[in-house]
Amino acid sequence: MEYRLNKRTLLDALGQWNRFFKRKIHLIACGGTALTLLDIKLSTKDIDFMVPIESEYEYLIKILKDLGYQKTTGSSWKREGDIYIFDIFSGNRIHTTELLESPL
């Protein structure tokens, strides 16, 4: 069983989410996720996104819950049967690192 996401698999997952969005959400890919999307790294097993705008974060979490995702840790979301966990951070903080400025 594959436990890493390549660029295509990651974009497919985001495309599935996008079908349910009725408004724009700024998702900032971080770490290995960003490197994979930029074709610098072949794959990632940690999927990290920052959502700098609080109202967009709350909307995203509502949609993910509607799609069957459940919180597994403080920032991690997973859907039963999926092997990937999405870490989604609100504001300008990723794990314990806070950005000095908004990425927007």
Q: List, for residues 57-82, the tens digit of each pLDDT value.
A: 999 999 999 999 999 988 999 999 88
Residue 3: what pLDDT?
64
C-beta separation of 31 from 40 below 8 A: no
Q: What is the CATH number of domain 5-91?
A: 3.30.460.40
Strand-pairing partners, residue 44, are 5
Inter-CA distances, 11 with 16, 92, 100, Å: 9, 23, 28
C-alpha dihedral, 27 to 31 to 35 to 38, nearest 10°: 20
The alpha carbon of residue 22 and the mean position of all alpha carbons in its chain are separated, in whole angstroms, by 18
Q: List, for residues 76-95, the tens digit of each pLDDT value.
A: 999 998 888 999 999 888 87
Predicted TM-score (pTM) of the model is 0.86
In the chain, domain spans: 5-91
